[in-house]
Structure formats: C-alpha cells, structure tokens
Chains A and B, each alone.
Chain A
C-alpha cells in the first residue's frame, strides 16, 4: 500500500513537471512547479526526511515559486497568448534530452544499485515515515552534520551565509533601476 503511495507521488511529479515545461501560460507553469515541489517534498517524507520535506515546502513552494510568480508579474508576459513559447531548437532539445536520458538509463541499469545489495538492509528495515519520533533526531543530527567541525562542513556552512548575503545584495543591485 505504501509503495503505491510512492508511485502515485512519482506520477504526480512527472506529470506536473511535464506541465511546467510545456504549458503556454507562464502563470500556470508556476503553479505546476509548485505542485512538483509538493510532490518532491512528499518523496522526501516518504524517505523519512521529515525536516527536509518541510524545508522543501517552505523554500520552494513558499519562497521560490512566489518569487517566480513575482518575476512573471514584473515582466508582464502572463497574458500574451500569441507568442510562441518554444524557441526554434525544440527538436534538437528533445534529441539532447533523450540522449541524456539514455545515458542516465544506461548508467543506472549497469550499476549495482539493487535493492538486494542494500548494505544497510537490516538497519533500514524500519520503513520510512514509520517512526514519527525520528523528527527531533533528524533536525539535531542534521545540525550536527552541518556544524560539527570534524564533519568538515562548518566552513562551507558559514560560507553559504556569505553567499546568501552577497546574493541578496547582488540581486538588489542588479534589479535596481538605473538612477540615471
């Protein structure tokens, strides 16, 4: 039963992702993107990463999608139904995407990422999303993973904060109207 849930989620994700890249109306695209992000957060939840699922919803659905919708509003192309949505390399793009798909298929097929080979099979026997009590543990362990010096990510973590700050300032500078 729970497996079926995954496949339903996967179907929703793929379908809405296809909508994102094909639908003519940009505003609808953005809504489909929000749906895709929901689906992805569902997959996270299904995998047992409750905190990251929440983060996914907060950032992607709550922030990025809204940001994109703002962008769409500001560029005022929402209602333009006559212009072509696709550029003139659609077929070539299909070809390239198909080639990459083939590459990925071959890679995954030839690898030994098989369920039976799962090295932590017994350890992970407890199904994802089965233990709700893991929630508190996940946050604290993630915090430890990020910030404990012996894990080696503390510097990168601090650096990301600088990156965010500079992106913030940079976005303002780039998008600001030229004073002249």
Chain B
C-alpha cells in the first residue's frame, strides 16, 4: 500500500484535470469524480496508516523518490516520505476533505460554477497532500505555493462580491510575505547543504552540530526563516490578518482552510523540520512566544465579534497559536495531536455554521437565536464541537489542550510560566466566547422572526458529515487516553515517545484549567442564557476595551497606515530613482546612444544602388587579398 502512496496527491490532481478539461458542464458528474477521488485517497491513507502501524516502531519511515531535475551539485527530487507524522496528516486531510466535499454537494447546490468549485477543491486537496507527502524542501515549497494559489481561488470564489475579491487578494499578499522567508530558508538550505532532502538535511545538521561545523545560531536562523512561512500560512501574529477576511469564501472552503488544508500546513511544516527548530533555544523561544501570544491575542478578539464565521476564524487563530506554542515548547506530540483533534471539531464548527447560514442566509449572530427548535442535528453536533473546543472531558479538545498545557508547563523555554498562564487564560476565554456563540445562536428566542420562519434543517448530505465529525470530535481524544497514549506511541519526535501521564496525574494537573473553563462557560451562560448580566451594559462600561477588541486591535488600520505612509513613501523614493535614474538615465540613455550610433551607421545607407554594388566588388578584392596574403 505504501508504495502506491504517490497516488494520494495524484488522484485529486487527476480529478481536477478531468473536471476542468471534460466535465465542467455536468455538475453531478464533476462532484462525483471529485468525491470519488477523495474517498479513494481516504481509503488509501487508511491502508498506508495500517501498513505503517504494523511495522516496527524504529522502521516506520518509508521514503522513495524520483529525480526531477539535475543541476549539479543539486538534484531536485519528487518523492514520498511516509512516516507516522505524515500518515497522521494524510488521514486528517483526506477525511476532512472528503467530508467537506460531500457537504459541499448540498451547500453549493445552486451555484452556477459548481463544477469549477469542485475542481478547485480537488486541486486544493491535491496540493495539500503533495505538501504532506513531500520528502524534500523543494517539493514542500511547491505544495505550499499551490495551497496558497488554491486558497486565493477559493476565497475569491464569489469574486463578484468586492469583499471576496479584496479578501482573496489580502490572503495572497499576506501569505507572500511569509513565503518570502520560507523561500529564503529553502534556498539557504540548498546552498549550505547541497541537498533538499529532509533526511539528508537532518543527517548533515545533526553531524554538523555535533562536530561544531555549524553553530546552533546559524541553524536557528534557517529555522526562523522557515518559520516566517509558517507564520504566514498558519496565520500567526503578526501575519494573522488574512484569515478572518478569508471568511468571504464559501463556508465549506472555510472549513477546509481552517481544519485541514491551509493553516495546518504551517504547523505541519514546523513539525516536519523540527530538527532545525530544536537545534537552538532561540528558535524554540521565538516559536513558543509567537504561538502563545497569538493564542491569547486572537481569543480576546473573538470575544467581541458579531459574525458567526469571524468568531470561528479568531478561534482558529487562537487554536493554531496553541499548536505553535506546543511545538515551540517541545511538545511535538501534543501539538500534532491538537492539530488532529482541532481538525475534527473545527471542521464541524464551520460546517455547522455553514448549515446555519444555509438555513438563514445570514451571518450576524444577533439576527439568529432559538435555532435549536428548527435545526436539531446542527444544534446537537455544534454543541459537541463547542464542548470539544472548550476542553470539557471526555471530548477531544480536553486531551489535546491539556497535553499542550502540560508540555508548556514542563518546558525549558524562557518564560514558560507566563506562557502557561497565557494558555490557561486562553482556555478560559475560548470556553467563554464559544459558549457565547452557542447560546446566542441556538438558544433563547428568535431575534429575527422573518429569517427564523424560513430556517430549515439542512439536507442529509450536509448533516451526514456533521454527524460523522461529531462522533470524531467525541472520540478522537481517546486515542491518547491517559496512561495508554496510543497516539504518543505513534507520533513522536526522536526515538523515545513522550510519556503519557496517568489519569490521576492528569486530573491532578489539569483541575485548575478545567475549573476555569467551567467558569468561562458559566459566565457565558450568565450573560447570554440566563441574562443575569447585560452584555450591552458591560460593553458600555468598558467601552474603550470593547471597541479595541471589536476592531481587532486596529491591526488592519495599522497595516493600512503602514502601507500608506511608510511603504508608499519608500515607494515614491524608489519611483523617483526608477524614473529619473533608471528610465531617463539608463534606459533612455541606452536608446539615445543606439540612436546616435544608428544615425552614424545610416550614413552608409545612401540609397544609391551603385554604392552598394561598389562595396560588393571592393569587398571581393579586399577579401581576396586578405585571404591570400
């Protein structure tokens, strides 16, 4: 099965080609091809996983590649690297993509560009899978950029909406900033190590560090360049601004971007190149602090948002911050485990919100309310996801979030205590804003009766994925059941698995967090369910804080100001240089010189044919003399 794993990115790519080339006119056929390809990928991934799990733990790395280009001393390969990390990601990506595609069949049913939509989805999954199976930096970069392109296409799928057109541009440009760093990192690796292969780079770096050929600071420099890419793609502070705007795309696309294909790429890349990151405390510290800060920062913004999808977007930012924090703090397994569980419940949250939007044609939570009467399945599954993300046992989020906090607590990163409390407080905020969302949308009385009357439960092909994801959100956490730790036995960095604490120790450690989470839920209920306190009055009382949060700390405005004043100022200097020196001086100068030389030479073009004939005969004589003497 593993030797066929190249088919995993191959099949969706093929589906993309087939849809674009042949079946654009046939909606159902296009969707069928796309879903079938994805389902095949999912089962193939299951097979790969199964086969990998049967191998000896020390032999769980299978890699093979084909030579693509040879430019000595470099060789570019296209290859597949299957190890537990990859197998884990393959399962997550293919499963979420499959469910999102099935869901999309219902959600996008009336769209005119239905086939195009499915072709983009296929390409998106193919790019992400190409990135996941990559065995070298060049291939991961190609997948990386393709993912960026697909996100651009899908966020701007409804390009006729100005907001969508702006959002996709923003996503693309902001990602480009991070990708620049990533590209520089990849180039540095190629220059210094003469290879792009993960395993070889790992070997060289390990060797170089042990005999002091490379300083740890140098490796940390490379790692931080790569991390720029992760900051862009996983929407970490300060490049987080694109992700909330990316909500302009169709909701299933948001689910795909947030759970499986796009933002996970950054986290995955950090995990994949963990050798470089773990070489020096500096890079680990930067990663941990960026992650921790983003987690808290985004959670505070989410408290004051009104758009159902934007709240979820900021919650994604916050959860991604957790993952990055975990990786930075040395919790490799915990970070990847949170990625896995988060994929399940975040996909569920987005698909659930999509179901709500599908029913109401509205995204403002203050126009919803009391939806549980109309949408039983959606409400129930949404509740599961909310409990999961809040971290209530035994739902998935509890286990992964707790593992992260645990690893931060035991970490050697400077200021890990502060980071730990930031993480705990973020957990509290998460519980608060997620239940705020849940209570406002699904409970109480309808606020907009007109919309409410039209609300209806979504069709089976939309609720089906919801139910599957809800079951997963409940159960996935058990994979790392305290004291057993199947997951940490499987996915770990280095040869020794991180130990899984027993359930007693776990509860002993995590009870303060759990208490805070329950407090958050209770506070949320007090505000929005029982209405003991008035949220409006609170907002009025702390108006500056409220406005600060509501406007996302004015980051968009700040970037706007930066671009307008600083960048445009710089640009005008360069523009002056370009216009005066390059254009007028060098370009026009080149033209002027050529013109004058041409003018001189044109004197030979007399137009008198006998002059030309004279040149011919004279040349015969001259050439003859030149040749013979």
Is A123 an interface residue, CB under 8 A from the partner? Answer: no
* Closest chain A CB from B288 CB (angstroms): 87
Which residue of A89, A92, A93, A103 contacts B621 across the interface (Cβ within 8 Å)? A103
By the criterion CB–CB under 8 Å, are A93 and B620 in contact? no
- The segment from B135-143, B289-297, B611-619 that touches chain A is B611-619
By the criterion CB–CB under 8 Å, are B621 and A102 in contact? yes
Is B511 an interface residue, CB under 8 A from the partner? Answer: no
Residues of B within 8 A of A95 (CB): 618
By the criterion CB–CB under 8 Å, are A96 and B621 in contact? yes
Task: For B615, give the chain A residue with the smallest CB separation.
Answer: A96
Residues of A within 8 A of B67 (CB): none
Q: How far is the CA of A95 from the CA of B625 in the complex (A)?
A: 15
Is B610 an interface residue, CB under 8 A from the partner? Answer: yes
Q: How far is the CA of A96 from the CA of B624 in the complex (A)?
A: 13
Interface of A is mostly: helix
Is A163 an interface residue, CB under 8 A from the partner? Answer: no
* Closest chain B CB from A103 CB (angstroms): 5
Q: How far is the CA of A106 from the CA of B620 in the complex (A)?
A: 14
Q: Please judge, given known A-B contacts A87-B610, A89-B610, A89-B611, whether A103 and B624 are in contact too, CB under 8 Å.
A: yes
Residues of B within 8 A of A106 (CB): 628
* Closest chain A CB from B490 CB (angstroms): 82
Task: For B617, give the chain A residue with the smallest CB separation.
Answer: A96
By the criterion CB–CB under 8 Å, are A103 and B611 in contact? no
Task: For B611, give the chain A residue with the smallest CB separation.
Answer: A89
Is A21 an interface residue, CB under 8 A from the partner? Answer: no
Residues of B within 8 A of A89 (CB): 610-611, 614
By the criterion CB–CB under 8 Å, are B614 and A93 in contact? yes
Contact string, A95-107, partner B, CB cutoff 8 A, digits 1/0? 1110110110010
**Contacts of B577-623 to chain A: CB distance below 8 A:** 608, 610-611, 614, 617-618, 620-622
Residues of A within 8 A of B611 (CB): 89
Measured as residues with beta carbon below 8 angstroms from the partner, the interface class of chain A is 10 to 19
By the criterion CB–CB under 8 Å, are B614 and A99 in contact? no
Number of chain B residues whose Cβ lies closer than 8 Å to a Cβ of chain A: 12
Task: For B622, give the chain A residue with the smallest CB separation.
Answer: A99
By the criterion CB–CB under 8 Å, are A96 and B618 in contact? yes
By the criterion CB–CB under 8 Å, are A100 and B617 in contact? yes
* Closest chain B CB from A176 CB (angstroms): 23
* Closest chain A CB from B289 CB (angstroms): 86
Q: How far is the CA of A102 from the CA of B622 in the complex (A)?
A: 11
Residues of A within 8 A of B622 (CB): 99
Task: For A98, give the chain B residue with the smallest CB separation.
Answer: B621
Residues of A within 8 A of B608 (CB): 87
**Contacts of A44-95 to chain B: CB distance below 8 A:** 87, 89, 92-93, 95
Residues of B within 8 A of A99 (CB): 617-618, 621-622
Residues of A within 8 A of B617 (CB): 96-97, 99-100
Residues of A within 8 A of B620 (CB): 100, 103
Task: For A110, give the chain B residue with the smallest CB separation.
Answer: B628
Residues of B within 8 A of A103 (CB): 620-621, 624-625
Residues of A within 8 A of B614 (CB): 89, 92-93, 96
Task: For B608, give the chain A residue with the smallest CB separation.
Answer: A87
* Closest chain A CB from B612 CB (angstroms): 11
Q: How far is the CA of A69 from the CA of B621 in the complex (A)?
A: 33
* Closest chain A CB from B606 CB (angstroms): 10
* Closest chain B CB from A99 CB (angstroms): 4
* Closest chain B CB from A140 CB (angstroms): 39
Residues of B within 8 A of A102 (CB): 621
Q: How far is the CA of A15 from the CA of B256 in the complex (A)?
A: 99
Residues of A within 8 A of B624 (CB): 103
Q: How far is the CA of A18 from the CA of B40 in the complex (A)?
A: 95
Residues of A within 8 A of B610 (CB): 87, 89, 93
* Closest chain B CB from A120 CB (angstroms): 30
**Contacts of B141-179 to chain A: CB distance below 8 A:** none
**Contacts of B307-342 to chain A: CB distance below 8 A:** none
Q: How far is the CA of A161 from the CA of B494 in the complex (A)?
A: 89
Residues of A within 8 A of B618 (CB): 95-96, 99
* Closest chain A CB from B615 CB (angstroms): 9
**Contacts of A131-174 to chain B: CB distance below 8 A:** none
Residues of B within 8 A of A96 (CB): 614, 617-618, 621
Task: For B619, give the chain A residue with the smallest CB separation.
Answer: A96
* Closest chain B CB from A92 CB (angstroms): 6
Residues of A within 8 A of B628 (CB): 106
Q: How far is the CA of A100 from the CA of B622 in the complex (A)?
A: 9
Task: For A93, give the chain B residue with the smallest CB separation.
Answer: B614
* Closest chain B CB from A108 CB (angstroms): 13
Q: How far is the CA of A103 from the CA of B617 in the complex (A)?
A: 11
* Closest chain B CB from A65 CB (angstroms): 23
Residues of A within 8 A of B625 (CB): 103
* Closest chain A CB from B622 CB (angstroms): 8
Residues of B within 8 A of A100 (CB): 617, 620-621
* Closest chain B CB from A97 CB (angstroms): 7
- Pick from A92, A95, A99, A102 the residue with the most CB of B within 10 Å: A99
Residues of B within 8 A of A87 (CB): 608, 610
* Closest chain A CB from B617 CB (angstroms): 5
Q: How far is the CA of A99 from the CA of B617 in the complex (A)?
A: 9
Q: How far is the CA of A97 from the CA of B621 in the complex (A)?
A: 9
* Closest chain A CB from B628 CB (angstroms): 8
Q: How far is the CA of A94 from the CA of B83 in the complex (A)?
A: 89
Q: How far is the CA of A93 from the CA of B614 in the complex (A)?
A: 7
* Closest chain A CB from B151 CB (angstroms): 65
* Closest chain A CB from B235 CB (angstroms): 74
- Pick from B608, B620, B621, B628 the residue with the most CB of A within 10 Å: B621
Q: How far is the CA of A87 from the CA of B625 in the complex (A)?
A: 27
Task: For B621, give the chain A residue with the smallest CB separation.
Answer: A99
Residues of B within 8 A of A97 (CB): 617
* Closest chain A CB from B152 CB (angstroms): 60
Task: For B624, give the chain A residue with the smallest CB separation.
Answer: A103
* Closest chain B CB from A88 CB (angstroms): 9
* Closest chain A CB from B13 CB (angstroms): 57
- Pick from B617, B620, B628 the residue with the most CB of A within 10 Å: B617
Interface set of B (CB-CB < 8 Å, partner A):
608, 610-611, 614, 617-618, 620-622, 624-625, 628
Closest 7 CB pairs of A and B: A99-B621, A96-B617, A103-B624, A96-B618, A103-B621, A96-B614, A100-B621
Pick 7 A–B contacts, CB within 8 A, sort by A: A89-B611, A89-B614, A93-B610, A96-B618, A97-B617, A100-B617, A100-B621
Contacts A87-B610, A99-B618, A99-B621 given; 19 further ones with Cβ under 8 A? A89-B610, A89-B614, A92-B614, A93-B610, A95-B618, A96-B617, A96-B618, A96-B621, A97-B617, A99-B617, A99-B622, A100-B617, A100-B620, A100-B621, A102-B621, A103-B620, A103-B621, A103-B624, A106-B628
Interface set of A (CB-CB < 8 Å, partner B):
87, 89, 92-93, 95-97, 99-100, 102-103, 106
